[in-house]
Amino acid sequence: MNFSIELSEEAREDVTLAVKWYDQQKENLGDFFITHLNSTLEKIRNNPASHKKIYRQVRQAAMQKFPYVILYKVKGNSITVYAVFHTKRNPKTKIRRLKK
């Protein structure tokens, strides 16, 4: 099955904030973050059921090299990313977002 991936508005904002922060730390580090994000999204696209469910039908995939997880849900051949979440944040925050 060929899956499409869509990022929610909140997930896009998560990515924008992460890239800005990493670019402030070191030039082009935000680009490196995007490269690893895209790599993780491609792994999700290739095998969306391979990651653990954390809340109802929402799954979580960890990024390599960066302390972030991607929260997503599969419906048919569509994958919706709800959050790109820093692992140091309060986990209750991500669950509240998923309950919306």
Mean pLDDT of 4-27: 96
1 pLDDT exceeds 80? no
94 pLDDT exceeds 70? no
100 pLDDT exceeds 70? no
Mean pLDDT of 61-72: 96
- H-only helix segments in 26-82: 29-46
pTM: 0.90
98 pLDDT exceeds 80? no
Residue 76's pLDDT is what? 93
Q: How many domains does the chain have?
A: 1
What is the C-alpha separation between 15 and 30, in angstroms, rounded?
Answer: 9
**CATH classification at residue 36:** 3.30.2310.20
Domain span including residue 72: 4-99
Q: pLDDT digits over 35-49, tens only?
A: 999 999 999 999 999
Which residue from 6, 7, 34, 8 is spatially nearest to 20, judged by alpha carbons?
34
Q: How confident is the model at residue 14 (pLDDT cuts 50, 70, 90)?
A: very high
Beta carbons within 8 Å of 21's beta carbon, 6+ residues apart: 30
